[in-house]
Amino acid sequence: MNTLHQSFSVRFTYDVYFSDRLFESTNPTLLDFLQKHHSEGFRKKLLFILDEGVTTAHPELPDQIKTYFSRVSIVDLIPDLIVIPGGEGSKNDPLLVDQLVEAVDRYGIDRHSYVVAVGGGSVLDLVGYVAAISHRGIRHLRIPTTVLSQNDSGIGVKNGVNYRGKKNFLGSFAPPTAVFNDAHFLATLDDRDWRSGMSEAIKVALIKDQAFFVWLEDNAEKLAARDLEAMQYLVHRCAELHLNHIASGDPFEMGSSRPLDFGHWSAHKLEQLTDFEVRHGEAVAIGIALDSVYSQRMGWLSEADTNRILNLERILGFSLFHPALDGDGVLKGLNEFREHLGGRLTIMLLKAIGKGVEVHEMDPNRIREAIGILKENETQPV
Using CB under 8 A, list all residues that contact its own copies: 1-18, 39, 41-44, 101, 105, 108, 110-113, 132-137, 155, 158, 160, 163-164, 166, 168-175, 232, 236, 239-240, 243, 246-248, 251-253, 256, 339-344, 360
DSSP 280-305: HHHHHHHHHHHHHHHHHHTTSS-HHH
The Cα–Cα gap between 71 and 25 comes to: 9
The Cα–Cα gap between 297 and 302 comes to: 9
CB of 373 to its own copies, least distance (A): 30
Pick the closer one to its own copies by CB: 55 or 113: 113
CB of 48 to its own copies, least distance (A): 19
Pick the closer one to its own copies by CB: 173 or 300: 173
CB of 346 to its own copies, least distance (A): 10
The Cα–Cα gap between 221 and 230 comes to: 10
CB of 270 to its own copies, least distance (A): 21
Pick the closer one to its own copies by CB: 268 or 340: 340
> ∠ at Cα 38 (35, 39), nearest 5°?
150
- Rg of the chain, C-alpha, whole Å: 21
Residues linked to residue 75 through DSSP beta bridges, in sequence order: 44
Pick the closer one to its own copies by CB: 158 or 314: 158
The Cα–Cα gap between 206 and 287 comes to: 13
Closest CA to 88 of 45, 122, 41: 122
Pick the closer one to its own copies by CB: 248 or 379: 248
CB of 138 to its own copies, least distance (A): 10
Answer whether 234's CB lies under 8 Å from 151's CB.
yes
The Cα–Cα gap between 197 and 127 comes to: 20
Pick the closer one to its own copies by CB: 44 or 308: 44
CB of 1 to its own copies, least distance (A): 4
